[in-house]
Amino acid sequence: MMKRDFLTVADLREDEVRTLLRETARLKRRRTIGRHALANRTIALVFEKPSLRTRVSFEVAIRQLGGSSIFLGPDEVQLGEREPIKDVARTLSRYVDAIVLRMLRHRQVEGFARYASVPILNGLSELHHPCQALADLFTIQERFGKLKGLVISYIGDGNNVLHSLSQGASLLGANLHVATPNGYRPDRGIWSQVVRQAKAHHARIVLRDDPEAVVSRADVIYTDVWASMGDEQEQGIRRKAFRQFQVNRKLLRLAKPHCLVMHCLPAHRGEEITENVLEGPRSIVFDQAENRLHVQKALLLMLFAGKMPR
């Protein structure tokens, strides 16, 4: 069977995403499903960035499916310094059955996919965070029973999280209302594709620079850190640019009464979100975190087996 990679949400068809979300719910309800599916399989986790949720959720997912994992941090691999990506990818392909990556640059993920003969899963790059987006979509569907027609309001940086969330939301017919400061908008190429996809699926996509203007019809308000990993040197500049983009009680009062709050974590309390909102009754951030585990189990089963176990 030809190997299949998962580098962006756009790698999946609409029917595949819907099947994935449905099977995620089944795996969450019955945690023994597929417990031997990855027996005798070994998956390498190659990470250039620190990680809590991505690393632990993948390691636990692999173990619960009967497989084993090997973690390789930046000191072990030293991509581009000790060895080029093409050598690492081809060598690891002789040892393991799949590779999960958490890379500084998306081109590195694409390089692994080009040279590896085993499936590549993008755990994060500076342009995409597709596993997070799948968990986010599942979490929203779990709470509302649907995605189509809902309004997701994203407040903050036009980063990898927004790119992947917008790809998934537009594919499934959810409306996405986004507010970012000028100069911190999403990638033009990715956003153009999202706008076209949203039109094809009868979803409304809005991009503005005023948070209050995009939350009035929100079913979900989503935010992320103002300075992503690798942008820490811009922290001071970004605090000034984003100071009107905080998710707080005042902003939440402008949304629908049932509006829920999401954040992919880690959070900087008092910056992009206040403590009382993050810890408040509308926050579902730890549901998001948990659901990384379940959706990644479904994803691994899809990539390896091509179908879900019964």
Which tens digit of pLDDT belongs to each residue from 86-125? Answer: 999 999 999 999 999 999 999 999 999 999 999 999 999 9
Query: What class, spelled out in words, does domain 9-129+290-305 have in CATH?
Result: alpha beta
Interatomic CA distance for residues 278 and 132, integer angstroms: 18
| Sheet with strand 42-47: strands edge to edge | 68-72, 42-47, 98-102, 120-124
* Contact status, residue 58 vs residue 303, Cβ threshold 8 Å: no
- Looking at residue 309, its pLDDT comes to 44
Which tens digit of pLDDT belongs to each residue from 9-60? Answer: 999 999 999 999 999 999 999 999 999 999 999 999 999 988 999 999 999 9
Cis peptide upstream of residue 130 (ω within 30 degrees of 0): no
Mean pLDDT of the 61-82 span:
90
User: Phi, psi (5° rounding) for residue 192?
Assistant: -60, -40
CA atoms within 13 A on the CB side of 68: 5
- Write out the catalytic residue numbers: 102, 129, 132, 224, 264, 292
| CATH code 3.40.50.1370 region(s) in the chain | 9-129+290-305, 132-288
- Looking at residue 40, its pLDDT comes to 95
% of residues, the chain, pLDDT over 90: 89
Confidence bin at 230 (pLDDT 50/70/90): low
* 3-class SS of residue 296: helix
* pLDDT exceeds cutoff 50 at 277: yes
Query: What class, spelled out in words, does domain 132-288 have in CATH?
Result: alpha beta
Interatomic CA distance for residues 275 and 230, integer angstroms: 24
Q: Is the pTM of this model over 0.85?
A: yes
Residue 283 DSSP label: B
- Looking at residue 78, its pLDDT comes to 78
Which tens digit of pLDDT belongs to each residue from 134-164? Answer: 999 999 999 999 999 999 999 999 999 999 9
Mean pLDDT of the 237-244 span:
95
* Contact status, residue 43 vs residue 97, Cβ threshold 8 Å: yes
Interatomic CA distance for residues 119 and 142, integer angstroms: 28
Nearest to 11 by CA among 161, 120, 101: 120
